[in-house]
Amino acid sequence: MSRPGLNPTTVVALADGLVAGAAAWALSGLPSSGSAVVRRTHPMEAVTAAGTLLLPADAAAGRLVVAGVLAHTALSLGWATVLALALPERCTVAAGMAAGLAIAAVDLGAVGRHYPRIRALDTVPQLADHLAFGAAVAAVVARRRGRRATTTAASG
């Protein structure tokens, strides 16, 4: 009789997603932050815009930053877990970058268009952030998969 629950392969992919999501969370905002510094605009604008997913747009700036960090964390971990389950074994980083663009279409288009502060963000740096996110998630997932394959081959 089998026990209900997640199979081991799914559990490993979920762990990959959480680890990859944490790495991508830290790296994926660099393009838009760098762009903001170069353009001399506020580097936290994307974070406060993300905060409007959880709080009204007229909330205090500090509260929007905290809400933005929480929203970015949840979205990063969620999307990374989806990618860890879906990314192919081969051409993983290229597939991750393509997935990053698809995620941008959802985040910025389907959802973001309903939030004025997200809609007002400069599109090119946001697309670059999403490409970086997909690449970072895919690179971490590919590396973890490779390590497991090496370990399995060495022990087998």
The domain of 80 spans 8-13+24-39+76-155
- Reply yes or no on whether the pLDDT at 144 is more than 80: yes
How many domains does the structure of the chain reveal?
Answer: 1
Q: Average pLDDT for residues 8-33, to the nearest whole number?
A: 93
User: What percent of the chain lies above the pLDDT cut of 90?
Assistant: 86
Q: Is 8 helix (H, G, I), strand (E, B) or coil?
A: helix
Q: What is the DSSP string of 88-140?
A: -SSSHHHHHHHHHHHHHIIIIIIIGGGSHHHHTS-HHHHHHHHHHHHHHHHHH
Q: Cα dihedral sign for 31, 35, 38, 40?
A: negative
The reported pLDDT for the residue numbered 70 is 97
Nearest by Cα to 149 from 76, 81, 74, 89: 89
80 in a structural domain: yes
The reported pLDDT for the residue numbered 27 is 94
52 in a structural domain: no
Q: Give CA–CA dist 14/36, Å, rounded.
A: 33
- Reply yes or no on whether the pLDDT at 4 is more than 70: no
The model's pLDDT over 25-67, given as tens digits with 9 standing for 90+, comes to 999 999 999 999 999 998 899 999 999 999 999 999 999 999 9
45 in a structural domain: no
49 in a structural domain: no
Verdict on whether the full-model pTM lies above 0.85 = yes
64 in a structural domain: no
132 in a structural domain: yes
70 in a structural domain: no
44 in a structural domain: no
At 3, the pLDDT band (50, 70, 90 cuts) reads low
